Amino acid sequence: MEFIQYILKLGPSVMLPIVIFIFAIVLGQKPGRAFRSGVMIGIGFIGIGLVIGLMLNNLGPAAKLMAERFGVQLTVVDVGWPGSSPMTWASQVGGLCIPVAVAVNIAMLVFGMTKVVNVDIWNIWHMAFTGALLHIATGNLMIGLAGVALHAAFVFKLGDWFSPVIEKYYDLKGVAIPHGTSAYCGPVAVPIEWLLDRIPVIKDINFNSEIIEEKFGVIGEPMIIGLILGAVIGAMAGYSADLVMQLGMQMAAVMVLMPKVVKCIMEGLLPVADSAREILEKKFSGKKFYIGLDPALLLGDSQVVAASLLFVPLTLIIAAVVPGNKVLPFGDLATIGFFVAMAVGVHKGNLFRTLISGFVIMAGTLWISTQTIDLHTILAQQAGTQLAAGVTHVASMDQGGSPVTYILLQLFRPDNIAGLLMVGIIYIASVLATIKYYKDESKALEEYSGKTTQV
């Protein structure tokens, strides 16, 4: 157990390369090639950390000033996934969650319940967070571990259901994104896509960076969009002209650099994913498998990055209007792209539709994260997290605002039946719509592949 904790403390930039190297060797790759894949993945995650740090260190203060300037009075600061994940790994459930999640994955593969082979061990922390809060809420470790198992089984299915989106829109064949905010937020976009397709005039509205670039030339390039959005956020924060220009340039850099660092991860992961898929499909008589990877892969899409920047000010506005919300978005503002990435794919890059889905996703996230503040604070205290002077409570949008976590908490320790019914009905309906969407998209993908093969 101590060895596992040691590996986890190394962080994804070291842990995942080790896991991928071992996995690649098991798959029969030459040590040199396996080592190179691991190193490239580590470089990619370090690059993503630098770019997210650039966003957090510069967007964070601007967002906070913007909130103060517009009178957004919220009492609990969102610590984001960088704050929540260490707390989770330090919990009693944290040390046991990996073998539980891996066992669930193996069992589902053996019984044909999923096609996802998850290799992204780091993001099991999302499942562990659910288990840790259940353990705190009920005082029962077994219920906590049951929460990990249930969460794991559900997100592996999400990996299956959204595989057509990953293959068709993101052009990542044989890859699934079975966890993280991208997975559990995805179902919300599906019924919205269905509804918008049936509203006259609205159904024809479509804009994205490519369309903007086509119509407006250089102004539509991703880096210029980043420049404009960064400058607007700086102006809304009340920055001086020089700081506005600096923030604009920094966000332009994010738009250019994020896809480039994601390519490093893809360069390391995809050969391993291809080898794994080929071996599994050969061994299991042509059955299709997907390699479960980190949602960071989706941040390489320019529409996802553009949506990320748009939702920095929008999330603060949403936080101010959501009834009963106490959470000030902060720690997860730099990674808003994770929340809307699957919606971008469902909407095929249409930013107009993504804005609508994203509004619903962020409103629900903030409301749920407010409901989990007390349990989240206990988790932080048990982990020995040092809170800043005057800070008595913590919250997070990533996982703290997850409908999966909230529904399981209410099922095992109900204290808000109205909230459970509201979130449960909306989310279950969205999941059912997602299952139908998966069947329709899979059929269309098979027909398209058949026509391509014939040609």
**pLDDT tens-digit readout, 150-195:** 999 999 999 999 999 999 999 888 889 998 789 999 999 999 999 9
What's the pLDDT tens digit per position in 307-339? 888 888 888 889 989 999 999 888 788 788 899
Per residue in 196-220, pLDDT tens? 999 999 999 988 767 666 665 666 6
Helix (H) or strand (E) holding 292: strand 290-292
Q: Mapping DSSP to helix (H, G, I), strand (E, B) and coil, where does residue 388 land? A: coil
Asked if residue 421 lies in contact with residue 405, where contact means CB atoms within 8 angstroms, the answer is: no
- The stretches of 289-416 forming alpha helices (DSSP H) are 302-321, 336-346, 351-371, 373-382, 403-412
- Annotate 198-236 with DSSP letters as a single string: TSTTGGG----HHHHHHHHGGGGSHHHHHHHHHHHHHHH
Crossing angle (nearest 10°) for helices 12-26 and 241-283: 20
User: For residue 265, what pLDDT band results from cuts at 50, 70 and 90?
Assistant: confident
Q: Measured between alpha carbons, how far is 271 from 254 in angstroms, rounded to an integer?
A: 26
What is the radius of gyration, based on Cα positions, of the chain?
A: 21
DSSP state of 322: S
| Residue 416 CB neighbours (<10 A) | 13
Rounded to the nearest integer, the mean pLDDT of the chain is 85
> Which residues are CB-neighbours of 118 under 8 A, at least 6 positions away?
101, 102, 105, 156, 159, 178, 179, 292
pTM of the model: 0.83
- What pLDDT is attached to residue 4? 62
CA distance 47 to 101: 28
**Model confidence pLDDT, tens digit, residues 382-419:** 877 666 556 678 899 999 999 999 999 999 989 899 99
**What is the residue extent of each domain of the chain?**
1-43, 55-454
For residues 126 and 402, the answer to whether their CB atoms sit within 8 Å is yes
pLDDT at 216: 58
Q: Which residue has the higher pLDDT, 121 or 426?
A: 426
Orientation angle between helical segments 125-138 and 403-412, nearest 10 degrees: 30
Instruction: State how far the alpha carbon of 317 is from the alpha carbons of 49, 125, 206, 237, 297, in Å.
Output: 27, 29, 23, 13, 28
Helix (H) or strand (E) holding 328: strand 327-328
Q: Strand, helix or coil at 134?
A: helix
**How many CA atoms lie less than 13 Å away from 104 in the CB half-sphere?**
21
Amino acid identity, position 444: A
The token pair at 425 is 């009905």
Handedness of CA 375, 376, 382, 388 (dihedral sign): negative
Cα gap 278→275, rounded to integer Å: 5
